[in-house]
Structure 1
Amino acid sequence: MFARSLQQSQRLVLAPLLVGLIALGGVTPVAAKRSAGEPAVAIDPVRLGEQQTQLYRVGALITASRGPCADILAIVTLPLDCPWQSVRVVNEDFSPEVADVAYRDLPGGGVRQMMVSIPRLPAGVEARALVTCEVTIHLVNPPEEAAAALLSIPRRPPTALKRFVGPSPMIEARNSRLRRLAESVLADAESVGKEPDDWGRVEALYEHVLSTIDYAEGPDTSALTTLDDGIADCHGRSALFVGLCRAIGVPARLVWVHDHCYPEFWLERATGGDEFGGEWFPAESAGTPAFGGMPIARTVLQRGDSFRVPERPRERLRYASDYLTGRPLPGGGKPRVKYVREIVEE
């Protein structure tokens, strides 16, 4: 049985559900190292600003309210380590019904998940699997003008980033309308004064989205729907900006944070000689504009907008949502779940 501390997980004895997942290469024990799935280029330390720390609790409360059930597998998204955010587990709260816990990263990176196995849950009993993380977040400053001028749109994106230049759920990157709009915006930018550098070209796309798409709370919309409606929330604005970036070959994706999402884009920079590296740059999609930096400390949950989850093989997901499976025992029903995702006030 899993020891109650994740730090003492040297001898995990995994329940059948998790054993099967490991056999398929879909899950790694808690102590295993993660793979980022993309070029490992650290953010320029000069661009890291003020540091803030939050306690963030995630998990699931699972109840056999309809009668006894078994073979429960709960999947919960955890805060994500990234160049400007570090995550440390500081407290675990697992009820006795929880047999095993393991972590995994989805292929390609961008999502960290906790896998919770409950072999049997008696009628009326609530199982608890909660993890509190200490999340240290740096504000991110945009690059200096001289440094930004050296960045360029990659002629050939690294293999691991090619999925961020094509279409994904709700981002119709290959649609001709987006391509024509992006070209029109860049042509307008070049007609007023000197021709912009690649940083300026991406910034022109960003400014066009913010100036032409009104902000309003509402349902998530795709890039094309946002373009048609002329109004959207943070998701719609982000999707349109990402779609325009991809239409001209700039790798871009969504970043999902607590109660919000925003876009980020990738530009290439020379690292010496004939070698090139690159970096992701965030942009704010609501409130005060911020291009190339992030002035607000938010807990990052996922980076990306096209995920494959082993338990849902036929679906391509823009967000790897929390997930629960379980089977009713005779006289019982399927379990009910309440997911927990909250900032903990100290």
Structure 2
Amino acid sequence: MRACLTAVALLIGSVASAQLLDTPVGEASASVEEAQVTTVRFRVGAVVTAKRGACRDILGMVAVPIACDEQQVRVVEEDFSPGVTATFRDLADGNARQMLFALPYLENGAEARAVLTYEVTTRTTPPPSDAEAVELKIPERVPRGMRGYVSPSSFIEARHPKIKKLAREIQKDLEESNPDASDFERVEAVYDYVMENIEYLEGPDTSAVTTLETGSADCHGRSALIIALCRSMDIPARMVWVNDHVYPEIYFERGEDDGVWLPSESAGTIAFAEMPITRPIMQKGDDFRVPERRGEKLRYASEFLMAYPAARGGRTPSVKYIREVVSDGAGVMAQ
């Protein structure tokens, strides 16, 4: 699964500079009594090189880890070349975050860096107890602001006849075997079907329908199918993009005006409504809009670069994006 896509376009842009060091973001609001917590150093950024002529008006975008209930983030190191300025912006109510970096001019053969190292503290999500699971309900009405999480999107064809038919069949089979199934068990039946019937196979990202038709997929295809089946039942569900992986997250209500998003593993160990492994969380969702990329609907707010050649006959610069775990948070380099 490749969540990181790159592109180069021509556009003039500029952003204001910002002081980034020692800025803690996000406070976990959920109980972590049974959770395991991991802290890592995580490096993101870009290295731009003017290999074929000087360049001007460079504006780049890099996805950075987000702050959310299960994750806190803090910038601990900056690596900006002279002249580079940077700022942040949130997308989709904070479910994605970008660093925008700008450089007015880059000489032929020169290199410019815009790299940040984060301290990322992520906790696992323990499964609900049996008593808690019984109290988790499928929303009777889609909560305000969540309509997008029950609608079709790129690669998640929630209204496709094959998806709707399969969702009905799964629920019918469950009703016959367990007439008193709880809402939690109804959603779990969807998850179990996909994990049992879709063979895990590394490959390119596939859509929900393609995954269903081929019977195999990697973490992306399995997640897309789980989410599409849930959305076809008007159950809010979304993608969670983590470092080198993706998995589904499903919304339950647990009382009036109270709800919770619960993740599920899409590869390896079966883990419904829990996440036993910590990875840096990058984005949540699958339908993003970026102002500079007009008309594009993005599954992931990917890295992007815009620039002009400084002279006739010149070329746009090359760019290398960085996204890697560099330490376990205690100064030990990752292998």
TM > 0.5 = yes
Q: Which blocks of at least 5 consecutive residues in structure 2 are unaligned?
A: 1-11
Q: 2:283 aligns with which of 296, 299, 302?
A: 302
Quick one: distance in 1 between partners of 2:217 and 2:32? 34
Please provide the CA RMSD for this pair.
2.3
CA shift, 1:175, in A, is: 1.3
The answer to whether the Cα contact below 8 Å between 1:97 and 1:121 also exists between their aligned partners in 2 is: no
| 1:336 matched to 2:318 | yes
**What is the identity, as a one-letter code, of the residue corresponding to 1:18?**
S
Aligned in 2, Cα 1:334/1:81: closer, same or farther, shift over 3 Å?
same
1:241-280, aligned counterparts within 5 Å? 241-270=226-255, 275-280=256-261
The code of the aligned residue for 1:338 comes to K
Residue 205 of structure 2: aligned partner = 220
Cα-to-partner distance string for 1:152-208 (whole Å, 9 max, x where unaligned): 111222221110000011000111221111111011111113421110000000000
- 2:67 is the alignment partner of 1:85: no
Report the AA paired with residue 241 of structure 1.
I
The alpha-carbon deviation at position 29 of structure 1 amounts to 8.9
Alpha-carbon distance between aligned partners in 2 of 1:219 and 1:180, rounded to the nearest angstrom:
26
Matched to 2:30, the amino acid is: I
Aligned mates of 1:306, 1:278 — CA distance in 2: 22
Say yes or no: does 1:191 pair with 2:171. no
1:8-23 counterparts in 2 under 5 A? Answer: 17-18=13-14
Q: Does the CA contact (< 8 Å) of 2:28 and 2:72 recur in 1?
A: no
* 1:82-231 equivalence runs, <5 A: 82-98=68-84, 100-231=85-216
Report what 2:307 is aligned to: 326
Instruction: Supply the distance in 1 between the matched residues of 2:234 and 2:28 (Cα, whole angstroms).
Output: 20
Q: Could you tell me how far apart the structure 1 residues matched to 2:156 and 2:25 are? A: 26
For CA contacts below 8 A with separation 6 or more, give which structure has more relative contact order: 2
Q: Which amino acid aligns with 2:158?
A: A
TM-score normalised over the length of structure 1: 0.86
Q: Structure 1 residue 126: deviation in Å?
A: 0.4
Amino acid at match of 2:316: K
Tell me what 2:62 maps to.
76
Q: Secondary structure at the match of 1:314?
A: coil
Aligned to 2:49: 63
| Amino acid aligned to 1:332 | G
**Using the alignment, how far apart are the partners of 1:29 and 1:269 within structure 2?**
40
**Match of 1:171, SS?**
coil
Alpha-carbon distance in 2 for matches of 1:35, 1:188:
45
Deviations 1:117-138 (A, max 9, x none): 0000000000001100000011
> Which residue of structure 2 lines up, in the alignment, with residue 43 of structure 1?
30
Gap regions ≥5 residues in structure 1:
1-15
**C-alpha distance in 1, partners of 2:226/2:289?**
23
CA contact (8 A) 1:30 1:103 kept: no
Name the counterpart of 1:235: 220
Residues 85-126 of structure 1 show CA distances to partners (whole Å, capped at 9, x for unaligned) of: 10010000101131x210000133311100000000000000
State the Cα distance separating 1:76 from its structure 2 match: 0.2
How far off is 1:141 after superposition?
Answer: 0.2
- Runs of 4+ in structure 1 over 2 Å off: 16-19, 27-31, 33-36, 40-46
User: Where does residue 3 of structure 2 map in the other structure?
Assistant: none
Contact kept? 1:108, 1:160, Cα under 8 Å: no
- Could you say what secondary structure the match of 1:118 adopts? strand
SS of alignment partner, residue 258 of structure 2: strand
Looking at structure 2, the residues matched to 54 and 34 of structure 1 have their Cα atoms a distance apart, in angstroms, of 15
Matched residues in 1 for 2:189 and 2:299: separation? 26
The answer to which of 192-201 and 230-239 deviates more is 192-201
Aligned length: 315
Name the CA shift for 1:120/1:341 in 2 (closer, same or farther; >3 Å): same
- Which of 262, 265, 274 aligns to 1:281? It is 262
Equivalent residue letter for 1:150: E
Deviation at 1:34, TM superposition (A): 12
1-side partners of 2:122 and 2:28: how far apart? 18
Is the contact made by 2:67 and 2:73 (CA closer than 8 Å) also made in structure 1?
yes
CA distance in 2, matches of 1:45, 1:134: 19
SS of the residue corresponding to residue 200 of structure 1 reads helix
SS at match of 1:102: strand
Counterparts of 1:94 and 1:124, CA distance in 2? 17
CA distance in 1, matches of 2:148, 2:25: 17
In structure 1, what residue type is equivalent to 2:48? Answer: I
